[in-house]
Structure formats: structure tokens, C-alpha cells
Amino acid sequence: MLSLCEYWALRERPFEPVTDARFYFQSRAHEEALARLGYLIDQETMYLGMLSGEIGCGKSLTRQIFSSRIDTSRHLAVQFENSAFALDDHLRRLLKEVGWAEVAGPDAGSYDLYELTKALLRQLSTLGRQLVLIFDEAQEMSQETLSALKRLSNLNDEGLGRLTIILIGQPELRPLVARQPALDQRISLRFHLHPLDAADTGAFIRHRLLSAGHSTGDLFDERAVSLLFEASRGVAREINRLAKLSLEQARATGAMEIGGDHVRAVIEDLRRHQSMPVLGGVR
């Protein structure tokens, strides 16, 4: 039996749950998110930004794409994929990345790390560069860490705009930050990523197929795309999961394209075995 890629004339699997910039689909919302984040750091005086979004809507991949586009001659960007640690731990990693690990060891306390970061900002300023700290999964930050971030943002009080902090996380990040009014009021830019709409869902599927080597990207018929949108509610991670299973289902039946019946079979199977709540509206 032909492999999935051989059967569908693909170079690689198109709907795998991997973070790969080649498969990044820049919807209108994602395009706006990237533009706003770019504006935030280009202004150099806005200090804090927040990107929130539903689970599975592509926040982390958007962060990676944004980071890859940052002008390194103007900005030093450091990403923190796991924000659950204390700010001291994040600052140690920052200082290690710029070659200051020896002075930022375990004996360095919070005050020492703060002063070292201040010295780093001064050094970057002389080079005409800005420091950008990007915290992903920021909804995992403790109130203590958020309070420490507010103190760190005080380094901008001289008006030089040498530090920009970006918080990226799930919807609960917004009320979490709201509990720190002094920090919340310093957030100059906010954007929330919503799930894809019906039109973008179809475009997303075609983009993934084209990126995987399909000649046209047209494997799912109109009804199949409609069912995928209804079942996933436009959440990219769920679209990938259902589309991947639908490819397998259609291959098993010897079909030449993926139709509504194949997607429906996948949906019904998930409903029986996983009690998948997002499928309730699909008939």
C-alpha cells in the first residue's frame, strides 16, 4: 500500500503538529498581529505589549515569525518559551546569552541582576540598539514575577526606550495582568488572535498542502472544508488534527479527493471514542 505522501503526491505530511515556519499561514489577523508587534518595537518608546489568543491559534509560531523578522542591527531580541520561572532566572539566561554568565551566577541576587541588566541596556544604547524581551506562555507567570517585570520596566523611566517587553499567552493572561494595575497601565499595545473564519480555514488547508508539495493544494472539496471549519471552530491546531485524519480516511477508501463523507466519518469516530465537545454543532 502506498504511503500517505505517495498516495496524495506530497513531499511531506502537511498537517503534523510541529512548529515549522514553512507551514505558517498568515491570515489577516496574523498579519495584523505581526504588523502591530513590529510597530511596537520600531517606536522604541511603547515599552510593553501583549499578544493573547485562544489555545491552538498560532501564537507561538507567530512569535517565531516575528522574531525572525527583527532587525538585529537595531534590536537584541531574547525569547523565553516558558514563562513559569522567576524573573531572576530569566535575567540570568539573558545575561548568559550576552556573555555575562560569570557575573550572573547563582550568587547574584535580584538587585545584582537588576543592576547588570541596567548596565546591559546602557551598553546597548551606546550601540544604538534596543533590548526586546519576549515571554511566551505568559499566563503561567506568577503575580510576583509580574510585579518584578513592572520594576524592570522602570529602567525606561529615563525616556530612552531601551527596553521593550512583550507578553504572549492564552486569554487568561489579560485578567492576570489586570491584577497588577501598575503593569497593566504600561501596556501600550494589545492584540487578541481569534480562530480562523470560514474563508481563512479553506485558505489555511490549501496553504498547508502546497507547503507540503502538492501541486494545487486542492484536495478537500467545499463540503469537506465546511465541515472542518464547523468541527474545529477555526482553531488551527484542530483543523490540522481533523485534516490529517481525513487524509487517512480518504486514502483507506481509495478516493481521489477528500469529501464531506470522509470528514464526517472522522468526526463521528472522534465523537464516539473521545466525546469531542467541539463537534456538537456538526450534522
Fill in the amino acid letter for 195: P
Tell me the pLDDT tens digit for each residue of 116-151.
999 999 999 999 999 999 999 999 999 999 999 999
Q: Which residue has the higher pLDDT, 276 or 266?
A: 266
Domain assignments of the chain as residue spans, ordered by start: 28-193, 196-279
Average confidence score pLDDT of the chain: 92
Tell me the pLDDT tens digit for each residue of 177-202.
999 999 999 999 999 999 999 999 99
Just give the CATH number of 28-193: 3.40.50.300
Position 282 confidence tier, pLDDT thresholds 50, 70, 90:
very low
Fill in the amino acid letter for 102: E
Domain 196-279 CATH class label? mainly alpha
Q: What is the pLDDT of residue 283?
A: 44
The distance from CA 281 to its chain's CA centroid, rounded to whole angstroms, is 27
Nearest residue to 201 (alpha-carbon basis) of 169, 176, 227, 183: 227
Q: What is the pLDDT of residue 160?
A: 59
The SS3 call for residue 130 is strand
Q: What is the pLDDT of residue 216?
A: 97
CA gap 76, 82 in Å, rounded: 19
CA gap 76, 126 in Å, rounded: 13
Q: What is the pLDDT of residue 2?
A: 87
Tell me the pLDDT tens digit for each residue of 57-84.
999 999 999 999 999 999 999 999 999 9
Q: What is the pLDDT of residue 11?
A: 96
Q: What is the pLDDT of residue 57?
A: 93
Predicted confidence (pLDDT) at residue 203 exceeds the cutoff of 70: yes
Q: What is the pLDDT of residue 156?
A: 83
Q: Which residues of 240-279 are buried (b: 16+ CB within 10 A; e: fewer)?
A: bbbbbbbbebbbeeeeeebbbbbbbbbbeebbeeeebebb
The SS3 call for residue 154 is helix
Contact 178, 143 (CB under 8 A): no
Tell me the pLDDT tens digit for each residue of 7-23.
999 999 999 988 888 89
Q: pTM, whole model, 2 decimals?
A: 0.89
Tell me the pLDDT tens digit for each residue of 211-245.
999 999 999 999 999 999 999 999 999 999 999 99
Q: What is the pLDDT of residue 157?
A: 66
DSSP 99: T
